[in-house]
Amino acid sequence: MSQLFQLEKTCPKTGARAGTLTTPHGSVPTPLFVPVGSQGAVKTLTPHDLKSLGAGMVLANAYHLYLRPGIETIRRLGGLHRFMSWDGPILTDSGGFQVFSLGHLRRISDEGALFRSHIDGSEHFLTPELAIEFQEELGADIIMVFDECPPYGDDPERIRRATERSHLWAERCQRRHGREGQALFGIVHGGTFAELRRQSAAFLTSLDLPGYAIGGLSLGEPKELMHSLLDETVPLLPEDRPRYLMGVGSPEDLVECVAHGVDMFDSALPTRLARNGAVFSQDRRHGIGNARFKEEEGSIDPHCDCYTCRNFSAAYLHHLFSCQELLGYRLATIHNLRFIVRLMEQMRQSILDDTFPTFRETFLQRYQPTDADVRAEQKQKWLESRRDRHPLD
């Protein structure tokens, strides 16, 4: 029986689950969305903001913190919780995805990843053992194995080799890990190939780790393909361990993937959209810069209970973005994260109340996702704009 995760209820019609994660820094309910604070901060927000909007856990990135301000600096200052002034649970990513987003600035072998810093061009060599050492010194509650994350559409043979290398590295991470009270998660890979996904799940579950992530999805593949790969992967993961789908944060995806039995999610999408003036509502994503909001007296979303919607009109937010006032980015971020956190709360309650299938159907009928072609184009432009400048956060 897992000491980290307690499964409380499963929806028999869909597989959606409600549970509780228990860590040295507190317990959090699932389904859970984890806001991304790669460099030790969720952009524009304070820890108090995060607590107020209901965030139970935050994500930081060992790659970014290793380069700046340095792992040893954070250790000397009392660890990541004290450094961030965040007393709740923290999950750290090993930085594998960020390293592999560096493109020509890195070289990979079975020993590890040789890369050049996106900050100053200095050369570094990151091994699975060092990735674990860094995360142990940071003191996070949940840490990730070091993995190789090939891009969507990569050559099948390269994806096979990357999956096998990730397995080798997962074993090395497990051997190196020794900090008590810190849960090490494996990461299932295999690209868009169902058989590789099944093989990866079988190998990683044989390591008997405290939790399992599903990586290498939400990288541009069609949503239907992501869902089918979840159907292949999730049933192979232990029922008593948390299941974490990395990099998923759009409302419709969260609802659908909870229905596929996923417990945890993270994504920079809600905060990134907020800083670009895109805000969630009950029916769709809106651009706050649209002229129709110029004189809108009501809030962004009349159903939302966030600080922004309780205190400011959509017209005011439109004005802030028109003037590029920093307050606009902060207020939009508060709204988007509260919208997502509240969505997770609603899904959890519906699972406990045996009404999740109805909740799912009602939400997906009402909510209109961004057009798939537009979404893919936007994501590709974002990836290209960042790939050669600095790793994804």
How wide is the angle at C-alpha 31 spanned by C-alphas 25 and 37, nearest 5°? 55
What torsion, rounded to 10 degrees, do the Cα atoms 5, 6, 8, 12 define?
Answer: 60
5-10, strands of its sheet edge to edge: 5-10, 17-23, 26-30
Considering only CA atoms, which of 88, 3, 19 is closest in space to residue 264?
Answer: 19
Catalytic residue flag (residue 93): yes
Catalytic residue among 93, 147, 263, 301: 93
**385: helix, strand or coil:** helix
In the chain, how long is the greatest CA-to-CA distance?
Answer: 60
Taking the C-alpha atoms of residue 158 and residue 151, their distance in angstroms, rounded to an integer, is 10
Considering only CA atoms, which of 326, 385, 354 is closest in space to residue 11?
Answer: 354
Give the distance from CA 108 to its chain's centroid.
24
Q: Are strands 58-61 and 90-93 parallel, antiparallel or unpaired?
A: parallel
Peptide bond into 69 cis (omega under 30): yes
Contacts of residue 347, defined as CB under 8 A and 6 or more positions apart, other chains included, come to: 16, 31, 254, 255, 258, 356, 359
Taking the C-alpha atoms of residue 393 and residue 391, their distance in angstroms, rounded to an integer, is 6
> Can you read off the two tokens belonging to residue 103?
């493109």
Peptide bond into 391 cis (omega under 30): no
Residue with tokens 């709740």: 88
Contacts of residue 73, defined as CB under 8 A and 6 or more positions apart, other chains included, come to: none
Catalytic residue flag (residue 263): no
What Rg do the C-alpha atoms of the chain give, in angstroms?
A: 20
Catalytic residue among 141, 147, 263, 266: 266
Considering only CA atoms, which of 284, 279, 288 is closest in space to residue 321?
Answer: 288
Active-site residues: which are they?
93, 266
